[in-house]
Amino acid sequence: MKRRYLLAAAALPWLAHAEKAPLRIAVAPGPQAEVMDLVARLATAQGLALTTILSVGAPAAVNASLASGGFDAASVEDGVAFSNDPSRQWLAEAALTVTLPMALYSRRLAALRDLPVGARVAIPAEPAAATRALLLLYNHGLLLLRPEAGLHARLSDVRQTRRGLRLLSLPSTQLAAALHGTADLAVIDRAHATDAGLQPARDSLGVEDARSPWAGVLTVRRADVEAPWLRQLVAVYRSEPVKRFILDRYQDGVRRPW
């Protein structure tokens, strides 16, 4: 009904001031959806009507729908994934949202300095997650990578490990369980860590920086990059109530890259 009403408003001048349909924001389940729900309430109170649409499909499908007008914006993936999405030619990154950090966990060690010689370090087997894990280990001084590896690092790019660490490649679903057996340390993304009862800020020995390349992004159509509604949306997202919510709700287990 709202779509038909808007078409009629375009044709009839006396409907020019009729209520606009809410902006449609596609969001991934979990923290991205929870934060955007708060943003929607705050924005609506300021006269910018938003509705969040929970998306459980592949980000590529969401981006394709965004490009064709199915949504007005999306908060469903990180910057690295978005940079590789085919729909990027029609879309733009409008702002950073939140970082769901990958972190280093151990059931045996109190600190990374306690890693023994030849310690076993488990990383995700999935290529994209493996790259992220290797860069996190690099940033904590646990290994060296070929300089040209960049955001495409693979196990074959590892040139040296600290104290002869042995890297094990396991499916992400098995990493937490490996901490009870085969691994002295494991690099686990937030979702799988949370499923295992682990929290990045509370339980990890090292956590990904908030301004990681894998920070979440808010994406829009290129034609909307300068839209007033987008500037207002980003301002609300970065407001003090949202900052407090992220800190209080997640205790730095979800990080703020802005």
Give 27-39 pLDDT, tens digit per residue: 999 999 999 999 9
In this prediction, residue 56 carries a pLDDT of 85
Using DSSP's 3-state secondary structure scheme, residue 140 falls into coil
**Nearest alpha-carbon partner for 24 in 4, 60, 54:** 54
Question: In this model, does residue 77 exceed pLDDT 50?
Answer: yes
SS3 252: coil
pLDDT digits (tens, 9 = 90+) for 90-105: 999 999 999 999 999 9
Check whether 15 has a pLDDT greater than 90.
no
C-alpha span between 46 and 41 (Å, rounded): 9
At residue 57 the predicted structure's pLDDT band, cuts being 50, 70 and 90, is: confident
Q: Burial level of 68, CB count in 10 A (0-12/13-18/19+)?
A: exposed
Question: For 229-254, what is each residue's pLDDT tens digit?
Answer: 999 999 999 999 999 999 999 999 99
Q: Residues 195-217: what's their mean pLDDT?
A: 97
Between strands 185-188 and 120-124, the pairing is parallel
What sign does the dihedral 212-190-59-50 (CA atoms) show?
Answer: negative
Per-residue pLDDT at 50: 95
Per-residue pLDDT, 16:
33
Place of tokens 């290797």: 134
Provide the percentage of residues in the chain whose pLDDT is more than 90: 89
* 1 vs 173: which has the higher pLDDT: 173
Q: How many CB atoms lie within 10 A of CB 223?
A: 9
**Backbone φ, ψ for residue 53 (5° rounding):** -120, 110
Confidence of residue 20 (pLDDT cuts 50, 70, 90): confident
Domains in the chain, please, with CATH?
2-100+212-250 (3.40.190.10), 103-207 (3.40.190.10)
Residue 75: predicted pLDDT: 98
